[in-house]
Structure 1
Amino acid sequence: MNILIIGASRGIGQELARQYSNLDHNVNITIRGKNHDVTRNVTVFSEVDVTCFDSIQKLANSLDDKSIDLLIYNAGIWRDEVLGELNDKSFLETFNTNAVGAFRVASLLKDKLKTNGTLALMTSKMGSIGDNSSGGRYSYRMSKAAMNALGKSLSIDLKDRDIKVLMMHPGWVQTDMGGPNAHLTVEESVKGIINVIQKSAPKDSGKFFNYDGTVISW
């Protein structure tokens, strides 16, 4: 299986690359910079910026005739705003990476996805309106809710090519973003994500999944 992971220089993306590689899949990853620490069978596309149309177009051109069975959008940033202290630049950067970046990638790489392929968007339960019981984290919550709306629309627009679109919540994970007190190791989260993707069926397209396979409310 040919896999492309957008945003895999560290954390969940890097572990996705490692585990899929260990399962003997052909793994391609993108990173923003030049430095990386990856395992065998991994092709690296460096200096890919999801906030830049031209950068994603260059990536699409670099893929040549390579077709993708599984495309995972894992790029994302975290901001934690306080109500009344809005930083427009920071707020819009979060939206540009988390939501608009996913749209750029889906738009420019959709023709690289095989019929019956899968597009997985790495979102967050913090984008769930029904699950929000603590407030705050405005740009992150809003950008992930926008990503979920994007995924639902893509599941409809790509249905004629039998492409599944899954929204994936990785859980609270011990990464730079999740912190050391998170409930899950990166290895545990990624193992669950891979299992959900592998077991998903066409009827699951457009759904919002937890890493353990349970469906999350919008």
Structure 2
Amino acid sequence: MPNILVVGAASGIGEEFVRAFIKKPGYHIIAVDKNFPQSSISPHAMVETYLEAIDSKVEGVLYLHAIDITNEIDIVTLSNLCSEPLDVIIHSAGVRGLEPNFHITQSSDVAKAETKNVTTAQTMRSTFEVNTVGSFLLLQATVPKLRLGGPAKVIIMGSRMGSIGHNTTGGGYAYRASKAALNAIVKSFAIDVPEAIFTIVHPGRVESGLVSVKEDGAISAGESVSDMMKFIDGMGKEHSGRFFDRFGVVVPW
């Protein structure tokens, strides 16, 4: 039975990955998100509520847990939850790094909330705390749980905004820097754990909770995940330590 861990599963891309994996008979999925209810609700009721919300039926086994990747106690809990070797890790949790004082009502407002003149130290720190530090803690705790003979696949949602070579418009200081740093972390894991596949994937400009409005040209999370699933299914060792878009086209560092 393949064991799948999906991080950031309460909405958007993570939710769509859960929807895709639960349709596969025999799959064992651990779905975690800081926005899931705490343990006061029964596990069965929690799963039933989630399945109703995403309008899906489960063909395999699904477990939901409230986990905040920036909380080191939660990270230990997550490590303990992964009692069986993991075949796939999907990490889609993240924040956009916009200045919270900006009232964003249309897509053109997004760039204004991340310029050099408005970005604060606190926004830089809080963005790195989730996108970079939290991601490192997650990998540090779960990589020892991988089924290395597979090889296991670790898929990290990156962003073209984290590509230094692709940066032609400037701005986006907190988000760009946090994602570029995450690229470096994933590359090091690929070198240090050559038995597994570590890949950064840019999912496209996706409608998600990272910003409060639909950005120009954004696609649905479902469309993005459908494309990524095709790429992930065919992923091999040659893809490890590299950066791709959702179709498998290389993105420059």
- TM-score normalised to structure 2 length: 0.80
Query: What per-residue deviation string (whole Å, max 9, x for no partner) do you get for residues 1-47 of structure 1?
Result: 2100111100000000001111232211101133472442321012x
Query: What per-residue deviation string (whole Å, max 9, x for no partner) do you get for residues 103-161 of structure 1?
Result: 101111111111111111111010001111111110000000011111111100000xx
1:85 Cα shift? 2.9
Distance, in Å, in 1 between the alignment partners of 2:119 and 2:203 is: 28
The yes-or-no answer on 1:153 pairing with 2:188 is yes
Matched with 1:141 is 176
Q: Report the secondary structure of 1:172's partner residue.
A: coil
Matched with 1:196 is 231
The yes-or-no answer on 1:18 pairing with 2:19 is yes
The yes-or-no answer on 1:43 pairing with 2:63 is yes
Distance 1:147 1:140, change over 3 A: same
The number of equivalent residue pairs is 214
1:86 Cα shift? 3.5
Kept after mapping to 1: 8 A contact 2:202/2:246? yes
Query: What per-residue deviation string (whole Å, max 9, x for no partner) do you get for residues 133-191 of structure 1?
Result: 111110000000011111111100000xx100000100011223364343322111001
Large movers: runs of 4+ above 4 Å = none
Distance, in Å, in 1 between the alignment partners of 2:208 and 2:91 is: 17
Amino acid at match of 1:69: D
1:213 Cα shift? 1.1
Distance, in Å, in 1 between the alignment partners of 2:91 and 2:139 is: 9
Over aligned residue pairs, what C-alpha RMSD do you find? 1.5
Distance, in Å, in 2 between the alignment partners of 1:11 and 1:68 is: 22
Distance, in Å, in 2 between the alignment partners of 1:112 and 1:76 is: 22
1:83 Cα shift? 1.0
Amino acid at match of 2:69: V
Kept after mapping to 2: 8 A contact 1:124/1:169? yes
Q: Report the secondary structure of 2:76's partner residue.
A: helix
Q: Which has the larger radius of gyration?
A: 2
Choose the corresponding residue for 2:146, options 113, 119, 142: 113
